[in-house]
A = this chain, B = another copy of it.
Amino acid sequence: MVSFSSSANALRSSEIRRLLSLATRPDIISFAGGMPNNDLFPIKELDDIYKSLSDDLKKTGFQYGPTPGYPPLLESVKAYLKRKGLNVENNELIITTGSLQAIYLIAKVFIDPQETIITEDPCFIGAVAAFKSFQANIHGISLDENGIDIALLQQALDNPELTSKILYITPYFHNPAGIIYSQDRKNELIETLQNRDIILLEDDAYGELYFDEEDKELTTPIKSVADEVLSICYTGSFSKIFGPGMRLGWLLAPREIIEKCSLAKQGIDACTPTFTQIMANEFLMQNKLSGYVSMLRKRYAQRCKKTLAAMDQHMPEYCRWTRPKGGFYIWVTMPEHMDATKVLEKAIDRGAVFVIGSAFDPQGENNHHFRISFSHVDEDKIEQGIEMIAAAIQSVYS
């Protein structure tokens, strides 16, 4: 047998797969899936768009497109990002096969084996998978309810043994932590990173999904205010505002970085699917986004409220959890001696499932947390499911 590469040998199948496979059992109430709710997808809008496509546009959709993206979509995403305050003139844009691919491209063009990437802890699983596939060492920095711990970050940046090229963060409705960075924390972060040779990789997959209009301001991208003083690569996605099955994301970054990413993409998949790019472009151009996203905000806010109410009522008093202002996730912290896997086993017996905390720890260790995702679960079953989880915790630690 031919031997695998060093990077392939570093890849490990995770426990989370087995756990998530349970989430598809129809009798299980699943808070595991970090995905939009199927009943909220814009089916009607898709039908309208499909009907509006000319034969020429359909032909274009069947064809290869340029590696950086379908040109009209590049323009409409640029216009969208400009409305969010981003400087699209001084940067370059590339459409990627989901925003995970944008993160992967950054890893590919910057990371050599054994180099360090600083992330938050907990951290988005897909990004950790991308970084580890290049044999990166991941140094996680804890989060509190306002964002990354600045003192710990400062220590890591000052540590000559770490010399990290990239700091990866998800400041808006964090997966799995459910928090949003405060304005103060963003300012401190900008100050901390200034005059350092490090790229800030800012992942904004959930920013549109704020529940209250008054929190919109918190979703202002760091790249929109600190692009002059920091080197920032900004990723976004259609996954939460259209649908992840379209596999469409983007990366806004300095020109020389996009050029390298585009060259790398030529060897990865040549181009992002043209057909879904056309659908997404029409979604933007036919002004379907804003009405659709307003609806989503209300519906996810309602699900979140219901979940928090059930947790307030049923969860043991020694548990704490975040109270999200947007997004899909609630992060539950149990006392340190408790183990989420044990709780999960009991929860599955009772009929509910979630994702254990160690899955989101870059080191795969810390396991007295777990993630509750309220986005995909059947709304009528939220209370029943939370009751099962609460009972599971109490049955393990009575």
Q: A: which residues have CB within 8 A of B?
A: 1-8, 11-13, 35-36, 38-39, 41-43, 46, 50, 55, 58-65, 97-98, 100-101, 104, 108-112, 126, 129-134, 165-166, 197-199, 231, 239, 242-247, 256, 259-260, 263-264, 266-276, 279
Once A50-B50, A61-B245, A63-B244 are accepted as A-B contacts, the answer to whether A98 and B270 lie under 8 Å apart by CB is yes
Contact A110 B5 (CB under 8 A): yes
A280 CB to closest chain B CB (Å) equals 11
A90 CB to closest chain B CB (Å) equals 15
A104 CB to closest chain B CB (Å) equals 5
Once A263-B11, A264-B8, A275-B245 are accepted as A-B contacts, the answer to whether A269 and B101 lie under 8 Å apart by CB is yes
Closest 8 interchain pairs by CB?
A: A62-B243, A245-B274, A129-B267, A8-B109, A41-B62, A130-B267, A11-B263, A247-B273
Contact B6 A112 (CB under 8 A): yes
Contact B63 A2 (CB under 8 A): no
Give the complex CA separation of A263 and B12 in angstroms: 7
Give the complex CA separation of A134 and B134 in angstroms: 11
- When distances are taken between beta carbons in the complex, the residues of chain B under 8 Å from A61 are 243, 245
Contact A97 B46 (CB under 8 A): no
Which residue of chain B has the shortest Cβ distance to A125 in the bound complex? B266
Contact A5 B59 (CB under 8 A): no
Contact of A245 among B62, B166, B268 (CB under 8 A): B62
Of listed A42, A64, A259, A270, residue having the most chain B CB within 10 A: A270
Which residue of chain B has the shortest Cβ distance to A34 in the bound complex? B64
Contact A46 B63 (CB under 8 A): no
Q: Contacts A2-B198, A7-B109, A8-B260 given; 8 further ones with Cβ under 8 A? A: A4-B260, A36-B63, A43-B55, A46-B58, A104-B267, A104-B268, A104-B269, A273-B273
Of listed A43, A62, A256, A267, residue having the most chain B CB within 10 A: A267
- When distances are taken between beta carbons in the complex, the residues of chain B under 8 Å from A129 are 263, 266-267
Contact B43 A270 (CB under 8 A): no
Pull 22 A–B residue pairs with CB atoms less than 8 Å apart, ordered by A: A2-B110, A5-B110, A5-B112, A7-B108, A8-B108, A8-B109, A11-B267, A12-B263, A36-B62, A38-B60, A41-B58, A41-B59, A43-B55, A62-B243, A63-B243, A100-B268, A104-B268, A130-B268, A131-B267, A133-B264, A247-B273, A275-B276
Give the complex CA separation of A112 and B4 in angstroms: 9
Give the complex CA separation of A347 and B303 in angstroms: 64
Give the complex CA separation of A13 and B46 in angstroms: 37
- When distances are taken between beta carbons in the complex, the residues of chain B under 8 Å from A134 are 5
Contact A35 B63 (CB under 8 A): yes
Once A264-B11, A269-B269, A275-B245 are accepted as A-B contacts, the answer to whether A111 and B59 lie under 8 Å apart by CB is no
Contact B267 A133 (CB under 8 A): yes
Give the complex CA separation of A110 and B5 in angstroms: 4
Which residue of chain B has the shortest Cβ distance to A56 in the bound complex? B38
A329 CB to closest chain B CB (Å) equals 16
Of listed A11, A231, A269, A279, residue having the most chain B CB within 10 A: A269
Which residue of chain B has the shortest Cβ distance to A262 in the bound complex? B13
Give the complex CA separation of A1 and B62 in angstroms: 39
Give the complex CA separation of A242 and B112 in angstroms: 38
Once A197-B2, A260-B8 are accepted as A-B contacts, the answer to whether A58 and B43 lie under 8 Å apart by CB is yes
Contact A64 B267 (CB under 8 A): no
- When distances are taken between beta carbons in the complex, the residues of chain B under 8 Å from A165 are 2-3
- When distances are taken between beta carbons in the complex, the residues of chain B under 8 Å from A42 are 62
A322 CB to closest chain B CB (Å) equals 23
A204 CB to closest chain B CB (Å) equals 17
